[in-house]
Amino acid sequence: MSTSILNEDQVSVKGCSIIYAPKGQAGEYAPLAANPYRGCGHQCAYCYVPAVLRMTRTEFDAGAIPRNNYLDLIAKDGRKYRQHGITEQVMLSFTTDPYHPTDNTLTRDVLKSLASHGLGFCTLTKGGQRALRDIDLFRPDRDAFASTLTSSDEAFSQKWERGAALPQDRMDTLRAFHDAGIFTWVSLEPTLDCESSIDIVRRTHEYVDLFKIGRANYLPMTNNTDWESYTHRMVELCNELGVRHYIKKDLQQYLPHGYYNPLRVQQFHA
């Protein structure tokens, strides 16, 4: 019999810190998450994570380092989740990227561990085709693959996301997972340029199952952005194309009254 107890959210297990329930804006993306690495290497100029982790940007951007004894620790948490019958998707990752540019082989073992303990998983990455190594582990009826896209323009991406896979690489990888029967979604956050985000939906909607749409709150370049107009245009486009979407809390004030905008939808194919 399990000696652990669930938190009030009835999804996360009290005392577990490796598999945890993200809060705030991160909590809008997934009920559970895990971060196998410290640092990243994609060198995104807009990234806020170094400040959260109290790392210098230089240290954070230098590359991702596996956290100590991570496989043993996640298996320990995984056993507690299995004892409670929790089968939710665990998202990798909020404070790193599971398919960062250096040695990311730990990611494959983490996905295996989550599956072996009865959990689903989702990866959110800017790593593009690096993720294809693990496509065989993704189960159409349990798991999801996601990518962050800020622009389809290579020059724009190379300015803001110097170490990340180029946008077309990421879009091609989304298509590959979609063609393999895996649920795909795109994070349109941060929105650095409204026209770019709208263009991404037009370009990718045939192989993306869900768009999660947010804004940028901490970049001076977006201080004068008309977020109300952006929200209205994005909602109109998504409905015109018939694509599922979630408008994040920072933009929900601009939604029509009573607009259907569920926080959680099924992120796998039944």
Residue 178 near residue 268 (C-beta atoms within 8 A) = no
**Closest by alpha carbon to 234, among 219, 216, 254?**
254
pLDDT of res. 86: 97
Instruction: Print pLDDT tens along the chain (270 aa).
Output: 457 899 999 999 999 999 999 998 889 999 999 999 999 999 999 998 888 889 999 999 999 999 999 999 999 999 999 999 999 999 999 999 999 999 999 999 999 999 999 999 999 999 999 999 999 999 999 999 999 999 999 999 999 999 999 999 999 999 999 999 999 999 999 999 999 999 999 999 999 999 999 999 777 777 899 999 999 999 999 999 999 999 999 999 999 999 999 999 999 998
pLDDT of res. 25: 86
* DSSP one-letter string for 42-110: S-BTT--HHHHHT--HHHHHT--EEPTTHHHHHHHHHHHHHHTT--PEEEE-SSS-TT-SS--HHHHHH
